[in-house]
């Protein structure tokens, strides 16, 4: 009998795994069980779906010859018996299990976020799925003023997308500068100026502590509520309060009838935990991406060597390694870990940051080039002749050459300032 591989989750990691497995000539019946009502799609492009640049159908991802079961939430897995159960009461047997359950938005601890019935006030959103995106787009049409809580990558790209729809938008970010996980203060300041030019205001050191709400009143239908199987919150048409603003820790308040919470994500691990699989922050996997005999985990739900990147590139690298192993194309393939790399494209604003682009340390040399007129900023951090980190903002011409040198640990040529110009990097 053909081997059965069950993949829980039909997101970016799952699709990549199935696609690569079949492309490598693997022979197995792969089934992707996805809680969302649609086949795999590129979540990274959701902000562009929000702006209307892409239709949701245009961001579909290939998934090889796998069977995709949409609207099929897996409620339990039994690694010993090699069976799984579905929310609709059905079940299935498998030979190999791959957990690719992704992550879910973290809700900040702010007063007023949940009403007595547990629902969020109308006008308060998170963005993780096409269904979220649809609800947000519908609400944005009626809104007058938006606040995005959180100035990380997701907050920045969502704020830019809302501004592109013509809404006045402010980001309330509690850290001293934007995207502090990836950027230094100078780069973040350049990004902030770019955002201002696109109609996005930025409040720094601005910790949201409460939502102001008015009502309750009847909330008009916006979208289809729990289309993606998540809690419908206030957008499902029931009587509830509507958000009117965001209160900050310092006593200031920002008016808003649309609030997007972009406060990070948390790996979805409930299924693995209930099945007795090892879970720390994510489902703990080794270099073979295994967490128990016959069970693997990939992508945003997986923790490898203490790291949960929460980004698409490592999810795809892991999927490729597991596909090589399970297809037999390279049974000894191992996942060696993630080289930190993040990239944001938000309309005309873009950056790439890799390695440790933090400030000076012993034995480190830092090169910087800033061009205020062009809105660009470039920084390289070197240890001797090796690149250990960098930021390219506003001009990514050299990104390919630099990230290759960083990932391979190649020695750099003399005169590293040349690496910050396109000619130098292609030498
Ligand atoms: C708006 C947005 C912008 C982003 N931008 C970037 C970016 O610029 N760069 C970048 O690198 N990353 C970005 N990301 C992150 C990137 O999308 C994720 O890293 C990537 O999707 C991880 O893939 P995954 O398959 O692990 O998880 P997901 O793509 O989230 O897929 C997991 C799927 O599993 C399903 N699922 C969960 N539990 C169950 C269950 N029990 N039964 C059935 N199905 C289940 C979920 O419904 C979901 O569809 C962005 C994310 C968002 C939301």
User: Could you read off the pLDDT of 265-277 as tens digits, one per residue?
Assistant: 999 999 999 999 9
Whether 148 lines ligand 1, by a CB cut-off of 6 Å, is no
Whether 61 lines ligand 1, by a CB cut-off of 6 Å, is no
How much is the pLDDT for 221?
38
Chain centroid to Cα 12, Å, comes to: 10
- Could you report the per-residue pLDDT of 333-342, keeping only the tens digit for each? 999 998 889 9
Distance (angstroms) between ligand 1 centre and the Cα of 130 equals: 11
Distance (angstroms) between ligand 1 centre and the Cα of 60 equals: 13
- Site to substitute for ligand 1 among 90, 310, 311, most atoms within 8 A of C-beta: 311
Which residues make Cβ contacts (< 8 Å) with residue 353, sequence separation at least 6? 182, 183, 187, 340, 341, 342, 343, 389, 390, 391, 392
Architecture of domain 4-104+265-327 in CATH? 3-Layer(bba) Sandwich (3.50)
Atom number in ligand 1 closest to CA 309: 19
Kindly indicate the confidence band of residue 101, based on its pLDDT and cuts at 50, 70 and 90: very high
Kindly indicate the confidence band of residue 384, based on its pLDDT and cuts at 50, 70 and 90: confident
Whether 12 lines ligand 1, by a CB cut-off of 6 Å, is yes
Angle at 49 between CA 45 and CA 51, to 5 degrees: 115
Distance (angstroms) between ligand 1 centre and the Cα of 155 equals: 16
Q: 59 is written with which tokens?
A: 């961001």
Instruction: For residue 408, count other CB atoms closer than 10 A to its CB.
Output: 11
Take atom 6 of ligand 1 and give the residue whose Cα is closest: 44
How much is the pLDDT for 222?
41
Residue 210: is the preceding peptide bond cis (ω within 30°)? no
Of 338, 418, 328, which Cα lies nearest the Cα of 378? 418
Q: What is the average pLDDT value for the chain, to the nearest integer?
A: 91
Of 7, 6, 9, which Cα lies nearest the Cα of 228? 9
In the chain, CATH 3.30.390 covers 356-426
Angle at 364 between CA 358 and CA 368, to 5 degrees: 60
- Could you report the per-residue pLDDT of 25-60, keeping only the tens digit for each? 999 999 999 999 999 999 999 999 999 999 999 999
In order of 138, 266, 277, 307, the CA distances from 105 in angstroms are: 20, 6, 22, 18
Is 93 a residue whose pLDDT tops 70? Answer: yes
Of 166, 259, 246, which Cα lies nearest the Cα of 209? 246
Whether 130 lines ligand 1, by a CB cut-off of 6 Å, is no
Do residues 56 and 130 make contact, with C-beta atoms less than 8 angstroms apart? Answer: yes
Whether 315 lines ligand 1, by a CB cut-off of 6 Å, is yes
| Averaged pLDDT for residues 348-362 | 83
The CATH code that applies to domain 124-261 is 3.50.50.60
Is 67 a residue whose pLDDT tops 80? Answer: yes
What percentage of the chain exceeds 70 in pLDDT? Answer: 92
d(Cα 417, Cα 380) in Å, to the nearest integer? 9
Kindly indicate the confidence band of residue 359, based on its pLDDT and cuts at 50, 70 and 90: low
Distance (angstroms) between ligand 1 centre and the Cα of 43 equals: 6
Whether 299 lines ligand 1, by a CB cut-off of 6 Å, is yes
Kindly indicate the confidence band of residue 415, based on its pLDDT and cuts at 50, 70 and 90: low
Phi, psi at 150, each rounded to 5°: 115, 125
Distance (angstroms) between ligand 1 centre and the Cα of 153 equals: 14
Is 220 a residue whose pLDDT tops 50? Answer: no
In the chain, CATH 3.50.50.60 covers 4-104+265-327, 124-261
H or E element in which residue 261 lies: strand 258-261
Whether 6 lines ligand 1, by a CB cut-off of 6 Å, is no
Whether 161 lines ligand 1, by a CB cut-off of 6 Å, is no
CATH fold label, 356-426? Enolase-like; domain 1 (3.30.390)
Global pTM reads 0.92
Do residues 258 and 163 make contact, with C-beta atoms less than 8 angstroms apart? Answer: no
How much is the pLDDT for 121?
96
Distance (angstroms) between ligand 1 centre and the Cα of 311 equals: 8
Distance (angstroms) between ligand 1 centre and the Cα of 263 equals: 15
Which residues make Cβ contacts (< 8 Å) with residue 81, sequence separation at least 6? none
């Amino acid at each position: 009998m053909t081997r059965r591989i069950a993949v829980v989750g039909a997101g970016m990691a799952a699709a990549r795994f199935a696609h690569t497995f079949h492309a490598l000539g693997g022979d197995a019946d792969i089934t992707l069980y996805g809680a969302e009502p649609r086949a795999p799609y590129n979540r990274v492009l959701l902000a562009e779906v929000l702006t209307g640049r892409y239709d949701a159908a245009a961001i579909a991802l290939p998934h090889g010859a796998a069977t995709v079961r949409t609207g099929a939430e897996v409620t339990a897995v039994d690694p010993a018996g090699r069976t799984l159960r579905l929310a609709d009461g059905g079940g299935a047997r498998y030979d190999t299990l791959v957990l690719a359950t992704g992550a879910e938005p973290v809700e900040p601890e702010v007063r007023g976020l949940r009403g007595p019935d547990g629902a969020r006030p109308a006008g308060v959103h998170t963005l993780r799925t096409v269904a979220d995106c649809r609800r947000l787009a519908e609400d944005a049409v009626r809104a007058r003023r938006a606040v995005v809580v959180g100035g990380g990558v997701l907050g920045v790209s969502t704020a830019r997308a809302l501004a592109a729809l013509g809404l006045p938008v402010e980001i309330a970010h509690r850290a001293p500068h934007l995207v502090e996980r990836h950027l230094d203060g100078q780069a973040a300041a350049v990004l902030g100026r770019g955002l201002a030019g696109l109609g996005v205001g930025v409040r720094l050191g601005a910790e949201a502590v409460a939502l102001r709400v008015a009502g309750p009143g009847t909330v008009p239908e916006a979208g289809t509520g729990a289309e993606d199987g998540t809690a419908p919150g206030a957008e499902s048409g029931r009587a509830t309060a509507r958000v009117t603003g965001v209160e900050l820790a310092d006593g200031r308040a920002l008016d808003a009838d649309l609030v997007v919470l972009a406060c990070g994500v948390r790996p979805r691990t409930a299924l693995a935990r209930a099945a007795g699989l090892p879970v720390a922050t994510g489902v703990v996997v080794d270099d073979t991406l295994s967490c128990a005999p016959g069970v693997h985990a990939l992508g945003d739900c997986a923790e490898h060597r203490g790291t949960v990147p929460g980004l698409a590139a490592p999810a795809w690298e892991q999927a490729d390694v597991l596909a090589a192993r399970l297809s037999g194309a390279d049974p000894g393939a191992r996942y060696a870990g993630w080289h930190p790399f993040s990239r944001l494209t938000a309309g005309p604003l873009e950056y790439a940051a890799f390695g440790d682009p933090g400030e000076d340390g012993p034995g480190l040399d830092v090169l910087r080039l800033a061009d205020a007129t062009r809105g660009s900023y470039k920084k390289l951090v070197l240890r001797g002749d090796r690149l250990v980190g960098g930021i390219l903002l506003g001009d990514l011409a050299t990104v390919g050459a630099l990230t290759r040198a960083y990932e391979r640990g190649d020695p750099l040529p003399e005169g590293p300032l040349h690496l910050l110009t396109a000619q130098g990097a292609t030498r």
